[in-house]
Amino acid sequence: MMAVRLGAVGYLNARPLVYGLEHTPQFDLRFDVPSTCARLLHAHDIDVGLIPSIECLRGPRPYLIVPGLAIASRGPVASVAVYTRRDPVDVRSIAMDTSSRTSVALTTVLFHRVFKASPSHVDAAPDVEQMLASADAALLIGDNALLLDHARLGLSKIDLGELWTATTGLPFVYAFWAGWPGAVSPEDTRELQLARDAGVKHPGEIARLYFADSPGRQGLGEQYLRDNIKYGLGREELEGLRRFYQYADELKLVSFSGSLDFYHADHRGAD
């Protein structure tokens, strides 16, 4: 049997989902930024990717989702945020981290629904000072957002996970495993679920390994994995995902039929 080509996100928040998979022969694992995971999956250069949730609707065909697994939050996420020195209603342009796809769509949705604003987008590398030199606000994701000392820079931080939950009462789903039909078996999905189950039990170990050269960040990393990021894709997460897709469809960011398709799974791993 050929190993499943698995494309994962390299950020800290994805590490619990791939805990131990480097040593599982049924998977050939690689790490990239979220937008690259999506591009590789669309090009069929990987079989399954931990893709931004919005990209599930942008592929050549509807992808199948691995059940029960996601990168999500309910309340503050800490690592997906817009930074600005202006009142949000006065923001006319946002520099968008080009590593992101879902967060760009989420920013568009929330600014439209919450602030009644439609800022223009400027693609940018994730450097907040340079981003704010070209736009009124900056969207950062992942480690760049988690580690930014925005108060020192005199910036306000709009945590998009917190704003989404405050607005909808629902969790937000940033990414999940999705892939081509036939790419994974029920046994493969079970292995992915077991990796998650093991990973969420070891936030301290994961943070220490990830920040091995920066001991001062290890406590922050552990707290973030334990308190901010959720790894299930249960009923409420799916409701939040469908709500996001509905809002994105209304703004013509994607087209959503209302249905989601899943790989068959071992029932023991389903949330």
Given a contact cutoff of 8 angstroms between Cβ atoms, the answer to whether 238 and 161 are in contact is no
Over the chain (271 residues), the average pLDDT of each successive run of 10 is 92 97 93 93 96 89 91 98 97 92 96 97 94 97 95 97 98 96 94 97 98 96 98 98 97 93 66 43
Q: What token pair was written down for 47?
A: 């079989």
Query: Cβ–Cβ contacts within 10 Å for residue 133, how many?
Result: 11
Q: How far is CA 50 from the centre of its chain?
A: 8
Could you give the domains of the chain?
Answer: 4-72+173-238+252-269 (3.40.190.10), 80-168 (3.40.190.10)
What is the 8-class DSSP label of residue 60? S
Query: Cβ–Cβ contacts within 10 Å for residue 98, how many?
Result: 13
Q: What token pair was written down for 242?
A: 């469908």
**Per-residue pLDDT at 268:** 41
Q: What token pair was written down for 204?
A: 């301290």
**Per-residue pLDDT at 29:** 96
**Per-residue pLDDT at 87:** 97
| Helix ranges, the chain (H) | 34-42, 102-114, 128-134, 142-146, 160-168, 186-199, 203-210, 215-223, 235-250
